Amino acid sequence: MDASNSSASAVKKPTGFRRLVKETLTQLAILLATLAVTEVALRVIDFRDLRDGYGRGYPLVFKHDPELGWAPIPNSRGEFHGSRTISLAHNSLGLRDVELGPDARPTILVIGDSLVWGYDAEASERFTELLRQELPSTHIVNAGVPGYGTDQEYLLLRRIWDTVRPDVVILVFCTSNDRDDNTSNLRYGGYLKPYLAQAPDGEWRFAGQPVPWSRFAYFNENALVHNLWVARAAVSAFVQLRYPAVRTRSDRAARRHDARLRRGPRRQIPGRAAVARAADRKLPADAEYPLHVVRWRAVV
């Protein structure tokens, strides 16, 4: 009797195990088929939010940086497609400029966003290159990075200061978006960045550092997410839930601030004619180049 029961149990166990394996494989097949269909559907629909960036060459410029949010890849070369296709070449500092070296000439560093970097412009077409032709006795450095607010520009300036050691720093400020750049942790459809937040003592300090990976950083720097659109959708949902958008000023306060700026006096930076008149009046000049040096601070 015991022998019969033992043999019956031995027969049933493999049968139950095979059923479990079969059901598991069936569920896996259904899951893989669902993921495959979803993957194909996402690629066919081609959601803009799931693309690598907004154009060819963006990964070269918008590489994740835990301090700055994003930064160009040092020593990278390629093409960048905005309204037209331009060529890119970044030096060892990640600046779209010639390689820097010892230079006895006075150094002017121009810092700003895409207006300085040269969006839709070849390097030879930018105003910094034109200044080099006009001011051969001056060493001019282009430190523009697309999308930066003055908060990120300050952090970049602090990072490269000891290497460049500029005598003069020129800030190119864009009134249409820099204030928004400075007071938000999320810009341009998904790029996370540091931002300025007002502390209880009234001082403005940097927040959001180290900057977490944005969805575009995952898209371009993680092999699995780069190749699977299903993974891109999952990462996008995670990043959006984990790191929601932050604004440190109300829209009403920003509008009141803008209204005060519009009512205030406007100063025009003097051009060549004004510089010539100053020279005729024999005003003191510390340098031979026509520069108007102004004191500035980040507007928040």
pLDDT tens-digit profile, the chain (300 residues)? 555 555 555 555 557 788 888 888 888 898 888 888 888 888 888 887 787 765 677 888 889 999 999 999 999 999 998 888 999 999 999 999 999 988 999 999 999 999 999 999 999 999 999 999 999 999 999 999 999 999 999 999 999 999 999 999 999 988 878 878 888 898 887 899 998 888 888 888 899 999 999 998 898 888 899 889 999 999 999 999 999 988 876 444 555 555 555 454 444 444 444 444 444 444 444 333 333 333 333 333
CB 229 within 8 A of CB 39: yes
Rounded to the nearest 10 degrees, what angle do helices 229-242 and 2-45 cross at?
A: 80
Model pTM score: 0.73
Query: What are the boundaries of each domain within the chain?
Result: 2-45, 58-266
CB 57 within 8 A of CB 80: yes
